[in-house]
Structure 1
């Protein structure tokens, strides 16, 4: 297999892994390649492989068993059941993710309202449009990427380099918050509206409004996740 191009890397890795499963005849319960083997075969970073496997695990296509390896699942009709299990297994890391985001992102939204320029606004408008389009197409992987891009662009709009680097690192290395939120029933549509509220406040240079809109967005997302976890308990 050819090395993966670094364009939309996470989506490319997911597609490549799906292709390997199909073309190489892997069946449910078969043990798949290890992280190290996938890293070498696809010539990408270990973090890219881990993110792809995390997404495939959430959608019920593989099971990552600590100390045992990666196994192929029969995803037919199992996606929501698998997501519920994944949600419970990652409950603490998800809460940790949102705790940090609630400390950082409302202030970032306020700074973006003060410091964003025309290009920042256009980029946020573009990604909001893409988000809605991919949701209409039922492309959940692209929806998650759009969500993360929106928050990265917003962080860049603060013109605070440290904050921008921090948010890029969080979206790359700690994606559980984004995954858990957008796989929760009904949350995508709410996120579209909430991103719109944040963007409108930023466009109006309304610092307090932007901070409040971001706080509502994160609290609402965490509430929906907690409700889903409680429902499955």
Structure 2
């Protein structure tokens, strides 16, 4: 595990912990590393670890049990009805998120295709392969982590640090776009195909193709979310009378 740069520390720690959970096979209910262990592994202060853990607890990734430690939360265990209700209550925020992503990520894909080197392509393919693995296992939580990694690595391939920082901010500060789209029925399998199109275009150096593939990916995702919300809204009417 690489040591964390002391820049944007809390966000870096949160991202690192999410990747540790996904990559090291932690399951719901498992005890996670202690604050002292995380301090040593990530090379940051204990106060930074505590701040990150507090945010991760608030967002439902971990739970802290007094005197016992940090435990992985069973976010997969949320009832589908609760998730659907969350979608309805946050529909506008989700749309806003995707509008930002369409503006930004279509160009990210274009520049990545134009500038990616062999190492960038290898790292992008690794993230895509990991996503496929967890999607096929129906492990949504780990798929979400890998999806965020895929988009960050695409941004890194642009060789533009500002774009990379913006993508890191979106995937760590605004996770609702990823969570909502990947929990929508059928979306993970579609994402596999859409990511494959993006990777193929980047490998070929096809800037226009990569931009179009990313735009299709995001438009399809927000369309599927909207259709799911509309389908849930008409259910009571179908059962009325």
Q: Deviations over 1:60-103 (max 9, x none)?
A: 55xxxxxxxxxxxxxxxxx2111101111111111110010010
Structure 1 residues 56 and 6, CA, compared in 2 at 3 Å: closer, same or farther?
closer
* Correspondence for 2:206: 206
Q: Deviations over 1:28-68 (max 9, x none)?
A: xxxxxxxxxxxx9x83424323333599696455xxxxxxx
* Correspondence for 1:154: 154
Task: Supply the distance in 2 between the matched residues of 1:227 and 1:87 (Cα, whole angstroms).
Answer: 11
Task: Supply the distance in 2 between the matched residues of 1:189 and 1:13 (Cα, whole angstroms).
Answer: 22
Report the CA distance between 1:127 and its aligned residue: 1.1
Runs of 4 or more off by more than 4 Å in structure 1?
A: 5-8, 11-20, 53-61
Count of aligned pairs between the two proteins:
193
* Correspondence for 2:36: none
Task: Supply the distance in 1 between the matched residues of 2:133 and 2:27 (Cα, whole angstroms).
Answer: 24
Moved more, 48-57 or 185-194: 48-57
Q: Which runs of 5+ in 2 are unaligned?
A: 1-12, 32-46, 63-71, 234-241
Q: Which runs of 5+ in 1 are unaligned?
A: 21-39, 62-78
Task: Supply the distance in 2 between the matched residues of 1:82 and 1:57 (Cα, whole angstroms).
Answer: 14
Task: Supply the distance in 2 between the matched residues of 1:154 and 1:10 (Cα, whole angstroms).
Answer: 19
Task: Supply the distance in 1 between the matched residues of 2:81 and 2:74 (Cα, whole angstroms).
Answer: 11
Question: Please, what TM-score do these two structures have when normalized by structure 2?
Answer: 0.72
* Correspondence for 2:88: 88
1:60·1:82 contact (CA, 8 Å) conserved in 2? no
* Correspondence for 1:65: none
2:76·2:141 contact (CA, 8 Å) conserved in 1? no
Q: CA RMSD in A?
A: 2.9
SS of the aligned residue for 1:159 comes to coil
Mapping 1:222-233, distance limit 5 Å: 222-233=222-233
1:11·1:52 contact (CA, 8 Å) conserved in 2? no
Moved more, 120-129 or 51-60: 51-60
Matched, 1:52 2:60: yes
Mapping 1:210-221, distance limit 5 Å: 210-221=210-221
1:58·1:82 contact (CA, 8 Å) conserved in 2? no
* Correspondence for 1:43: 50
* Correspondence for 1:27: none
Task: Supply the distance in 2 between the matched residues of 1:200 and 1:13 (Cα, whole angstroms).
Answer: 29
Q: Deviations over 1:170-208 (max 9, x none)?
A: 100000000000000000000000000001001111110
Q: Deviations over 1:145-190 (max 9, x none)?
A: 0111000000010001000001001100000000000000000000
* Correspondence for 2:34: none
